[in-house]
Structure 1
Amino acid sequence: MDSLLLEQNPILLEDETETDEADQEENPEPEQDGALENDTTETAPKGRSGGMIDSEVNYSAKDSTFFNKGKVFLYGDAQVSYEDVQLTAHQIELDLENNIAYAVGTVDSLGVEQGLPVFKDKSGEYTMRRMRYNFKTEKALIEHVVTTQGEGFVVSELAKKNSDNTYFLEDGRYTTCDNHDHPHYYINMTKAKVIPGKKIITGPAYLVIEDVRIYPLMIPFAFVPTTSSYSSGFLMPSYGEESNRGFFLRDGGYYLAASDIFDLALTGDLYANGSWGLRTASNYRKRYKYSGSFNAQRITNVTSEKDLPDYSKSNDVSVTWSHRQDAKASPFSTFSASVNYSTSSFDRNNVGSIINPEILAQNTKRSSISYSRQFPGTPFNMSLNALHSQNSRDTSINLTIPDLTVTMSRIYPFKKKNRIGSKEAWYETISVGYTGNFKNDIQTKESDLSFSPKSLSEDWRNGARHSVPVSMNLKLLNFFTLTPNMNYTERWYFRSVEKAWDATEQDIVTTDTIQGFNRIYDYSFGVSTSTKLYTFFTPSRTLFGDKIDRIRHVMTPSVSFSYRPDFGDPKFGYYDRFEYYDEDRDQIVKHEYSLYENTLYGVPGRGESGSMGFSLGNSLEMKIKSDRDTTGFKKIAILESLNFSSSYNFLAEEFNLSNISMSGRTKVLGTNISFGATFDPYALDTTTTRSGVLNVTRVDKFEWNEQKRLARLQSANLSFGFGFGSDTFKKRREERTGEGSETDIPEDDPLDIPDDNPFADDEIPEDALSMGDVDPLEAGEDGYAQFEIPWNVSFNYNMRLVPDSFNEAQMAYNHKVTADISMSGRISLTKKWDMNLSTGYNLDRKEISHTNVRINRNLHCWNMSFNLSPFGRYKSYFFTIAINSSLLRDLKYEKRSNPRDNPNWF
């Protein structure tokens, strides 16, 4: 300790000599110790000789301050400051002659330490039990110091501080556990040097778990960075073994802290059988400008050995990119990107130890890169997009590069700019809009995708479309809104096709593709109107009492008429014709085809059309008295929507009436239910060919005339989902006890006033459950434990009814039901335990879908997790115990199996 005692130099308070001489003249007795009043603040000035301290020492105490022979004793919230050094403690002894401060805490009657010394300087803040500090040399001797370094804590029973703010420790502890006195684990550093805010250098170190030293886990030396800013460095790989791919090193690489704007991580995998993977990941952010992330992966999986029948090698890639522009960056333009592209087999071949059922169930991936711009002072907007979608089941891909759209918002060319008192004339409601679109896209298989000049010319589709809608609004009898409209559409294509009958192949073939500019246009006229009808019903008071105030039925009928000329007329030149003999060569077949088949925007339809479209929307709601407020009411939706729609073409030669569509939505006991169906009003007939094959054809006869049915069911769908949990029952209890809140409406709000959005329901769905961090054994106000376990369960059901085999007896198709049930649940047994389950069942295939069980245990500074897929192709498990801190993420234990090791994987 003597090596830490600093240069001893006398120090005198200001005017101390003059005061002593005056006291000796007036009071010849020896000087007595004195006590100052409570909460005093004094200053020790700078010394007058070169050996003294250079700045003032300020000190104060809340309880009392005593002086005794050049020493100052401070009690109760004592503070001493010198330049940029500040020391606080319950008790501080300040030796002004030797420039030394000695600080200690205290222990209360319950044995709890209080007022421990806290030392602050430019290197950081440190808590300790005792400290001896020299102001002149800035050296100190510390007992039981605790300091935060990076994500961890450094604790040492004895430490020495040098003037350069470095600390030397003996038998120190490094841990990320905030329980300093008794951490769950720590790295025992026999000798260490700490440079605050930069690094920790240690000699031999051991891992200690629950006070048990793990001798095999010893390192001869270590270097731990503790800088607060991120830095570059190597990423240590994990190792293991798989039965198919052999030994492996995984997720090893290098992390580059490139700048404050972006970083870059390069990692890779290597397997003994020749499989390998390479990944790059980057995050970037520029304040008030943009932010995003980019990830790219390349994996090669090798199966079996060369020259064996089951040998295979797959190459897969994946690219994901997300870019977001800050709203403050530009008020008139935006740029965003959401790219998710991969080869169709990537998700299956890149499966990891933890199986994500959502990714495995995802058959379609979509991407978009968008740029949009507004032109201030004009009605024009512009957007430029690149779009991508792919199906991993059939490896089909749809790519659009670019997709340019220019729009003009509706303008009213005849409206008066400065209206004074006059009523708006009918022609002032005329509005004109414009939408222009240019596309270049391809629909093909993943293996056939090409960007070569030949493919761009022959396989890719391109063209432009211009649409000009003109409409006006007229009020009719104050109850109807009449909307006449006219639509003009023009398409630009850059090639057309010619077809003919190939007698050799007995098939229709394309004989020529003609390059050149083609202008195609069409137009239509129409008018539409709609209104709302309200019907009220008061239930029988004898049967239902006065609980139900009334029931309201809202109907929204709408009717539209449209006319379109026959653009299949030869004068337009959009279609061509040729003739050929049928397969029996006894009848001439006339075939008509479009010169612009398989184009982006289609071709104007053949046949003159004069159609009437009609639809009917319905909603049913009930108004009942509130249980808690005798003057209020609340609204309940019995049927949120039930819609029917169809159309009738007066000018069609056959099948004038189109299919009837029905859709609906409601809620029962908190469960959202959606349903829909399609009905065909026309009958079916059968014929038998010479070879005995039964042909089923649709005939121009109504089902009612043939089978006494209004219409024939074609397809239907039904889906519903509901969830409940601890919060659901808690809400019910609050409603019964009156603690919850309820949205009521005042009694004087008349139900019979028509409203465009009646009975608006703003309640939070009951299935939106939260999982609060509740301790199930936490004591309540009555002193007894509150046994509350947060949990929730959700179910989803999807059913589809599709045609299957034909039933001649009923002259209708039998239907096949395909349905899926999915379930997910979560329960927190305690604040530390968390369990999750997701599974499902396919009723058509009669098999359980991918099932995943996840169990997590918070071990304070550690975390334990267990993931299990108990059966199926992805059968596997993954168990790990790891430190929560990312700084020591490699300090973990893992036990796993890989789905690729399953016998039924390939």
Structure 2
Amino acid sequence: MAIQKPSHTFTKIHLKALRTNNFKILFALSFTVFINTFSFAQDIPKPTDSIKPAVKDSVVVQAKDLIKDGAPPEKAQDSTTTDSIKPKKELLEHIVRYSATDYTSFNQKKQKLYLYNDAEIDYGDINIKSGSIVIDYSTNTVYAKGILDSVGTYSQAPVFTQGQNIVEPDSIVFNTQTEKALIYNSKTEQSGGTVIAQVTKKENDSVYFIHRGKYTTAENLDDPEYYILLRKAKIVPGKKIVTGLANLFIYEVPTPIGVPFAFFPQSEKQTSGVLIPTFGEQNDRGYFLQNGGYYFAINDYVDLAVLGDYYTNGSYGLRLENTYAKRYRFRGNVGFRYENLITSERGFPDYGKSTVYNLRWSHSQDSKANPSSRFSASVNLGSSTYYRQSINQINTGAFLNNTLSSSVSYSKTFEGEPSVNYSVTATHSQNTNTEQINMTLPTFQGNVSRIFPFAPKNGSKKGIIQNINFQYSVRGENRIQTTDSLFFKKEMFDDAKTGFQHSIPISTNFKLFKHFSLSTSASFNEVWTFKTIDKFYDNLTDEVITETVNGFDAFRTYNFSTSLGTTVYGMFNFKKDDKANPKIHAIRHVIRPSISYNINPAFDKYYETAEVINADGLTAADIEIIQNENNLEYSRFDGGLFGTPGKNFSSSMGISIANNFEAKVRDKDSTATEPKKVVLLNNLNFSTSYNFAGDSLQWSPVRMSGGTQLFDNKLSVNFGATLDPYALDNNNRRINKFNINNGGSLFRLTSANMTMSYSLSGGGKNDGSENRGQGRAIQENLRSGGRDDDLFGVSEDFSRQNEDADNKKDEEPSAFYNYKIPWDLRLAYAVNYSNNTRQNEISSHSLMFSGNVELSPKWSVGASSGYDLKNKGFTYTQLRFERDLLSWRMNFSWVPFSTRASWNFFIGIKSNILKDLKYEKRRQPDQRL
């Protein structure tokens, strides 16, 4: 965790001329020009031409076709039987169905049909709704327009529908014979965008031509905040929009952002296409292109995004993001990230080169897919320094992660009596600070459900005999311990440990004296291992040598335990019959004491002694060498996967007391008839043990733990402490003497800890229950193994967050000003105290906080930070600003200090169809020397 004092910070500015490879700069610029010139956001597959039938020319006739062998000559037909004059085409090809509210009038002389008020006409697949419709049968023309009401308001504008295309113009002229139309002041939705045009020419049912049209994704079409002016364009509904010169207008103000020609793909299905990269500059890596690549829409179930980063100093990165899903079966995603990072320039003292990678996989199975088997995966592994060294803004929220973990499991259940189930699991745990990796490849677990051999066929089980039960379980592991540098190398598997553990527990329970519950159990365990050790003394090196012996071996152990427990209820009533309704009615105290006894025999037959012979030929016994200090007595199963059989006889008693406190208080609601129940302490537990077989230090330290929730469960408090009854000597080692007999208190506090988390919110309808605009960023934190909140910051990949914007609908604006400002705040406090060896110190003491405030319906700010109260410095800090610009979205993120100090500005369109129309700028501060 990076710590920096807010004061006394001095920065030395060192200017260093960095050599940038000109070829790499030229390559980046060429790649940029290529994307802007020849690529587009989506790729529509070209329809293949159908095979046309071969038609022979009637003029070319071969001789062998005139007279066929054995065929009679063809009889000549009378020309009068076939009329050479084609029949006249019907006036209308389809039946015309029409209706109107006020009147329907037909003028026989002018061959016109008049419909007025809520007029509607159906002709084939064409439907027109309008205030006024005139059908001219002489010219096969339909005129449709709105009507003026009594106050002069234009209403009931036409709605033209043909198939799936809907056009809403001011008026329309449509020819029923050619199916051509002139549409005035139309608004047409095309795959998430809207085309607004003054005059539109409908060529046929699939082609439209417009002049000076406006293409926008704004919601307010009467006054769009932005649009792209299409001076001449061709529209093929559901397929594409092709235009000539086009440029961007913001609130009717033209901007220099434009293209000489453009292609807007229109498709209701998922399509492949280029992902436009982000441009920027970093002080130690030069100019860069980041998060650019190609999206492959493989099919309806699988997709793939290939993204890359490139820096002009030679650094580069690669990302593969895959999502797959099948309804009612499963869904998941796979991601692989690789970065080759170069710092500074070759020849400088701060030059460095590193390679980091990360692999993530998440898979979940639908519960309806198979009730008897289940497969799931959650994988997050890679370089320990990946999140600390990665320079991609998508990993900002995972910068403080110190643990990577993975789990892939499959389980199967065989129904029956008894039922049998097994599971196979592969796990991975990685500490990014120590770079230590623990893996199980795999873990096998199988068990048979509990069997009650003496239980009655009907009714409940009673007594000690009927409750006797046993089960069988087996566990096998292949455990690997390695480091980051040996990950997935041959040396990683050299020290792997493999073994099996079989367990058969037998237990029963029954009531004793009506108020006590007595349970007793015995367990038999057998451990199989494939590696043991052997120790012997080497005279040359004068040390004990340990060798690994490969081969099957096993040991068997057994133990016995019993426990007795009960539940005691205490009630303290404060409400009196002769008094008014008090604030506290009663307090209930629930005590659950328990006492247990465990006995483990000594299995010293599995232990041996390695004799040490000195130069005089004397053994360890002759020269009185203390075996424990020289580690001469050992078991061949030492260091085994499932432990070592106990050498010493053990007989111990465990004591524990669990407490729970609840209260009934007067409800603030005066209409409530019953008092309100409030939890004072969720739990307050004490536990210790006494070893009867021990010769000293027989009492174990008392462990105390507790927790509660306050302020309507908004404040969660958990605490714990360890109390040692024994004293310390002058060397701070425990001695067999009670602390109270050594001049101290009854117990010696050796450690204590307390954690608190507080979450509150207010204002608005949501009351801050959701992280506004951070849904995708929080999910990215979780997939990276981070927190489910923003206490450590969130991802800064703002272009990906825009994909969720279309699903969020703005609330209806109120006519009155809402003085309640939506906000949310999260606090996390942790303190740890250590006093094992009289150090009497606070080992860690920190406060973390994060919050978001909506200053207005369109402005929101947020911050994540913390303060180390022990080392007196701020922790990793991130400040966030967001502005909702209706169809656009603007974000600014700032990390003011630490090694990740940076800022990131983004502005872009929310809609997915134009999400590549964006501007993003990021910069890091000068290096501090």
Distance 1:543 1:390 in 2: 63
Determine whether 1:846 maps to 2:875.
no
Aligned to 1:411: 451
Distance 1:114 1:506 in 2: 106
Aligned to 1:59: 98
- Give the secondary-structure state (helix, strand or coil) at the position aligned to 1:828: strand
Higher relative contact order (CA 8 A, sep 6+): 2
Determine whether 1:679 maps to 2:716.
no
Q: After superposition, what is the alpha-carbon deviation per residue over 1:396-441, rounded to whole angstroms, capped at 9, x for unaligned?
A: 111111111102221112223256xx98453121011222111112
Determine whether 1:523 maps to 2:562.
no
Match of 2:467 among 419, 429, 445: 429
- Give the secondary-structure state (helix, strand or coil) at the position aligned to 1:348: helix
Aligned to 1:124: 165
Determine whether 1:624 maps to 2:624.
no
Q: After superposition, what is the alpha-carbon deviation per residue over 1:457-511, rounded to whole angstroms, capped at 9, x for unaligned?
A: x31111111111110011111101110111112111101112345677676542x
Equivalent runs, 1:492-511 vs 2, <5 Å: 492-500=528-536, 508-510=544-546
Equivalent runs, 1:367-406 vs 2, <5 Å: 367-377=406-416, 378-406=418-446
Cα separation, partners in 2 of 1:252 and 1:96, compared to 1, 3 Å: same
**One-letter identity of the residue aligned with 1:271:** Y
Equivalent runs, 1:429-828 vs 2, <5 Å: 429-452=467-490, 455-456=492-493, 458-500=494-536, 508-510=544-546, 512-539=547-574, 546-567=582-603, 569=604, 571=605, 573-578=606-611, 588-590=625-627, 591=631, 592-627=633-668, 628-629=670-671, 631-670=673-712, 671-686=715-730, 695-726=731-762, 778-779=814-815, 785-803=817-835, 806=837, 812-828=838-854
Aligned to 1:874: 900
**One-letter identity of the residue aligned with 2:921:** K
Q: Please, what TM-score do these two structures have when normalized by structure 1?
A: 0.83
Equivalent runs, 1:283-362 vs 2, <5 Å: 283-353=323-393, 356-357=396-397, 359-362=398-401
Determine whether 1:166 maps to 2:198.
no
Q: Is contact 2:307-2:319 (8 Å) kept?
A: yes
Q: Please, what TM-score do these two structures have when normalized by structure 2?
A: 0.81
- Give the secondary-structure state (helix, strand or coil) at the position aligned to 2:445: strand
- Give the secondary-structure state (helix, strand or coil) at the position aligned to 1:263: strand
Aligned to 1:364: 403
- Give the secondary-structure state (helix, strand or coil) at the position aligned to 2:732: strand
Q: Is contact 1:294-1:322 (8 Å) kept?
A: yes
Aligned to 1:50: 89
Equivalent runs, 1:63-78 vs 2, <5 Å: 63-68=102-107, 69-78=110-119
- Give the secondary-structure state (helix, strand or coil) at the position aligned to 1:340: strand
Shift of 1:656: 1.4
Q: Is contact 2:455-2:461 (8 Å) kept?
A: no
Determine whether 1:150 maps to 2:150.
no
Distance 1:649 1:728 in 2: 60
Cα separation, partners in 2 of 1:566 and 1:242, compared to 1, 3 Å: same
Cα separation, partners in 2 of 1:727 and 1:251, compared to 1, 3 Å: closer
Shift of 1:533: 0.9
Q: Is contact 2:479-2:497 (8 Å) kept?
A: yes
- Give the secondary-structure state (helix, strand or coil) at the position aligned to 2:840: strand
**One-letter identity of the residue aligned with 2:830:** N
Distance 2:248 2:911 in 1: 16
Shift of 1:355: 6.6
Distance 2:858 2:395 in 1: 23
Cα separation, partners in 2 of 1:418 and 1:818, compared to 1, 3 Å: closer
Q: After superposition, what is the alpha-carbon deviation per residue over 1:730-756, rounded to whole angstroms, capped at 9, x for unaligned?
A: 99xxxxxxxxxxxxxxxxxxxxxxxxx
Shift of 1:642: 0.8
Instruction: Indicate the structure with greater strand content.
Output: 1
Shift of 1:778: 3.0
Range with bigger deviation, 439-448 or 422-431: 422-431
Matched residues, number: 789
Distance 1:233 1:550 in 2: 68
Distance 1:95 1:390 in 2: 80
Distance 1:545 1:189 in 2: 76
Distance 2:733 2:461 in 1: 58
Coordinate RMSD, CA, aligned = 2.8
Q: Is contact 2:229-2:247 (8 Å) kept?
A: yes
Tell me, which stretches of 5 or more residues in structure 2 are unaligned?
Answer: 1-86, 768-790, 792-807
Determine whether 1:197 maps to 2:238.
yes
- Give the secondary-structure state (helix, strand or coil) at the position aligned to 2:690: strand
Q: Is contact 1:353-1:877 (8 Å) kept?
A: no
Determine whether 1:246 maps to 2:283.
no
Shift of 1:576: 4.0
Shift of 1:728: 11
Aligned to 1:217: 257
- Give the secondary-structure state (helix, strand or coil) at the position aligned to 1:835: strand
- Give the secondary-structure state (helix, strand or coil) at the position aligned to 1:778: coil
Distance 2:510 2:164 in 1: 77
**One-letter identity of the residue aligned with 1:788:** K
Shift of 1:301: 0.4
Q: Is contact 2:764-2:822 (8 Å) kept?
A: no
Shift of 1:616: 0.5
Shift of 1:817: 3.6
Match of 2:131 among 76, 90, 94: 90
Shift of 1:800: 0.8
Once the two structures are aligned, what percentage of the paired residues are identical? Answer: 38
Distance 2:391 2:699 in 1: 51
Cα separation, partners in 2 of 1:331 and 1:104, compared to 1, 3 Å: same
Cα separation, partners in 2 of 1:777 and 1:707, compared to 1, 3 Å: farther
Shift of 1:845: 2.2
Match of 2:221 among 180, 195, 210: 180
Distance 2:151 2:556 in 1: 92
Cα separation, partners in 2 of 1:624 and 1:123, compared to 1, 3 Å: closer
Shift of 1:115: 1.3
Aligned to 1:764: none
Distance 2:440 2:261 in 1: 57
**One-letter identity of the residue aligned with 2:586:** R
Cα separation, partners in 2 of 1:331 and 1:90, compared to 1, 3 Å: same
Cα separation, partners in 2 of 1:439 and 1:113, compared to 1, 3 Å: farther
Determine whether 1:114 maps to 2:155.
yes
Distance 2:447 2:375 in 1: 18
Aligned to 1:862: 888
